[in-house]
Structure 1
Amino acid sequence: MPNLLFICSKNQWRSPTAEHLFKNHQVYEARSAGTSEKARIKVSAKLLAWADVVFVMGRKHKQLLQQRFAEVIIEKEVVVLDIEDNYQYNDPELVAYLSNALKPYLEDAD
C-alpha cells in the first residue's frame, strides 16, 4: 500500500483535509504533518522515511524539507500542490481542489 504524506505549515486545515480524503482508502495510506513549531503534528525524519510520495502545499514547505531533512528526502518524490492557506478543514472548495490536483499523481485514487 503506497504511503502518502501531506504537509502544510500548522497541520490544521490543508494537510489534514488531504489526509482525510484517503481515510479507509483501499489503495493508499495517508498521514499529515506541519513544518511549523506550532504544528499539531510536526514533520519528522521518521514520517518522511515512511512516505512513498510527499505532497506539500507550497514551495516554502518543500524548501524547508530540503533544508531540514535533505538526507531523507533526496530519494523521495516531493510534489508542490500550490494551495494557499485560506481554507478551513474539509472546506468543499479545498476538497475539490485537492481531488483535482492529486489526480495526475494517483491513478487509483478514484
Structure 2
Amino acid sequence: MIRVLFVCSRNRLRSPTAEQVFAGLPGVETASAGLAPDAELPLDADLLAWATLVLVMEKTHLRRLKQRFARQLQGKRVACLDIPDNYAFMQDELVQLLRARASRYLRF
C-alpha cells in the first residue's frame, strides 16, 4: 500500500483535487494538506509520518517543506509536480495535468 500526501499552499484547490483523483487507485491511499497557516488542513508531522510519498505542487512548496520538516522527511520520497496555482477545484485541465505529472510516481 502506498500512502500519498499531496501538498499545496492552502489545501483548497490543487491538493484536494489530487487527493480525490487518485483516491480510487488500487493499493493507494491519499491525503492532502497545505503549508500556509490558513490552510484548510495545515500540514503537520503526523501527516508526514503517515505518508510514504509526498507530492508537492510547486518548487516553492518543496523548499518550504524541507525548511519546516527536514527531520520528518528523512527516508521519504518527495517530488514536485510543477503545477501552478491557475486552476479551480476539480477543473478538467487540472485533473489531466495531475494525471500526466503523477504517472511517473503512481501506477495507473
Q: TM-score, normalised by structure 2?
A: 0.96
Q: Quick one: percent identity of the two aligned structures? A: 44
Residues in 1 aligned to 2:33 and 2:59: alpha-carbon distance in whole angstroms? 15
Query: How many residues are matched?
Result: 108
**Structure 1: tracts of 5 or more residues without a match:** none
- How far apart are residue 37 of structure 1 and its match? 0.4
Superposition pairs of residues 1-110 of structure 1, within 5 angstroms: 1-107=1-107, 110=108
**More off after superposition, 62-71 vs 88-97:** 62-71
Q: TM-score, normalised by structure 1?
A: 0.94
- How far apart are residue 23 of structure 1 and its match? 2.6
Opposite residue 14 of structure 1, the aligned amino acid is R
Provide Cα deviations, 1:79-109, integer angstroms capped at 9, x if missing partner: 10010001000000000000010111112xx
- How far apart are residue 65 of structure 1 and its match? 1.1
- How far apart are residue 24 of structure 1 and its match? 3.6
- How far apart are residue 74 of structure 1 and its match? 2.0
**CA-based RMSD:** 0.9
Secondary structure (helix, strand or coil) at the match of 2:54 reads strand
Residues in 2 aligned to 1:19 and 1:13: alpha-carbon distance in whole angstroms? 10
Residues in 2 aligned to 1:33 and 1:5: alpha-carbon distance in whole angstroms? 7
**Structure 2: tracts of 5 or more residues without a match:** none
Opposite residue 96 of structure 1, the aligned amino acid is Q
